[in-house]
Amino acid sequence: MSPTIHLVSESTAPLLDHVGVELARRRHVMWHTLVTEQPSVDYGLLAAARGQTEAAARQWVRRLRNEGKLITVDHSGTLIPSFQFDADYEPIPAVADAVQTLTESGMSGWAVWHWFNSVSPWVGFEPVLLIEQGRGEQLIGLAEQFVADSTAG
């Protein structure tokens, strides 16, 4: 019996996922940018700001996150983006409503954080600026418009 020889042609070369790798690389760049340029707190800092134990802060965050009114992201531990809070680290109601609109549409915590800090084509600036300007109703409307436009199609 002679051995079978299999020839590899270009048509049987492996299909390398260059697009998937590039998307993952861009996602990691986005995460790094958010973490290094946008303020956030971990459970320990949140507990200190709110004058409670870390366990109580974790439970409080878990409840709000389960209600869809607060986002967290995992990055060497849990980070909670600070744009969601007022000066006393209480949730800003309009922000919680916008976050809920976005998370109920299926957006992850990372995607929501990115949405708040990226220039919106509808207003020409980052939605997070609406928080600083006290324009909560416009923020909620912008989130609703984004979700409606994202699902219409």
- The domain locations on the chain are 19-151
CA distance 125 to 116: 10
Q: What would the pLDDT profile of 86-121 be if each residue is shown by its tens digit?
A: 999 999 999 999 999 999 999 999 999 999 999 998
Q: What would the pLDDT profile of 7-16 be if each residue is shown by its tens digit?
A: 655 667 888 8
Q: How much is the pTM?
A: 0.82
Name residue 40's beta-bridge partners. Answer: 81
Q: What share of the chain is helix, strand, coil (3-state, %, to 5)?
A: 60, 5, 35
- Looking at the chain, which runs of residues are DSSP E strands? 40-41, 73-74, 78-81
